[in-house]
């Protein structure tokens, strides 16, 4: 059995993160993760930001987003190992085995495909889910409210289609 943190602890921690991120002591800008991908590609491949239109559009992107993403990875690991004691290594989650199959290749292909669709959606929506949900909705941005509604409807439809249990029992 795993320990669970109360929902309100997550809410307080998220509020603290948002306050720090928006403040002049933090990043002094909304939180987000998808802008780090092109920023990192520009650094690794020495891309000229004046030549590539998208890199010009990214204002104040930087290494702080990479630090935040690393912190998410390390924080999730520490929480799952020491607090909730739910850490386990698995190439195929139990729900995937139950509703789909036991193929590692199938899981990897679906993960890549869905991640590809998700990053395209993030770019079309003008930001990633963390940016829209955490920063945009906390600021009551209309675009983020629309985005959140579309994501929730998409989640329900995808879950209904992808995890259809009729005839599986």
Q: Is the pTM of this model over 0.75?
A: no
Of 31, 22, 113, which Cα lies nearest the Cα of 69?
Answer: 31
Establish if 104 belongs to a structural domain.
no
Read off the tokens for 105.
Answer: 């290749």
Q: Give me the number of domains the chain comprises.
A: 1
Residue 1: is its pLDDT beyond 60?
A: no
Residue 54: is its pLDDT beyond 80?
A: no
Read off the tokens for 70.
Answer: 């690393």
Q: Give 33-91 as a DSSP string.
A: STTHHHHHHHHHTT--TTTSHHHHH--S--HHHHHHHHHHHHHHHHIIIIIS------S
Residue 162: is its pLDDT beyond 80?
A: no
The pLDDT tens digits of the residues spanning 72-129 come to 899 999 988 998 888 888 888 888 888 888 999 999 999 899 888 877 877 777 777 7
Return all residues near 102 (Cβ < 8 A) that are at least 6 apart: 92
* SS3 category, 166: coil
> What is the phi-psi region of residue 28: left when phi exceeds 0, alpha when psi lies from -120 to 50, beta otherwise?
left
Establish if 161 belongs to a structural domain.
no
Tell me which of 8-17, 22-31, 39-48, 151-160 is least confident: 22-31
pLDDT for residue 15: 84
Domain range holding 68? 1-89
Residue 164: is its pLDDT beyond 80?
A: no
Establish if 53 belongs to a structural domain.
yes
Residue 168: is its pLDDT beyond 60?
A: no
The rounded distance, in Å, linking the Cα atoms of 148 and 19 is 21
Rounded mean pLDDT, 17-42: 74
């Amino acid at each position: 059995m795993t320990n669970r943190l109360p929902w309100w602890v997550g809410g307080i921690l998220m509020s603290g993160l948002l306050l720090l991120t928006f403040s002049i002591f933090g990043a002094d800008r909304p939180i987000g993760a998808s802008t780090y991908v092109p920023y990192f590609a520009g650094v690794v491949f020495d891309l000229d930001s004046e030549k590539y239109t998208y890199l010009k559009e990214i204002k104040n992107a930087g290494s702080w987003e990479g630090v935040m993403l690393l912190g998410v990875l390390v924080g999730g690991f520490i929480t799952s190992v020491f607090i909730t004691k739910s850490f386990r290594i698995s190439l195929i989650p139990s729900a995937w085995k139950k509703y789909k199959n036991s193929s590692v290749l199938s899981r990897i292909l679906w993960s890549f495909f869905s991640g590809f669709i998700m990053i395209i959606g993030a770019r079309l929506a003008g930001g990633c889910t963390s940016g829209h949900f955490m920063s945009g909705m906390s600021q009551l941005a209309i675009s983020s409210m629309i985005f959140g509604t579309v994501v929730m409807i998409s989640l329900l439809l995808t879950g209904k289609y992808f995890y259809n249990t009729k005839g599986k029992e």
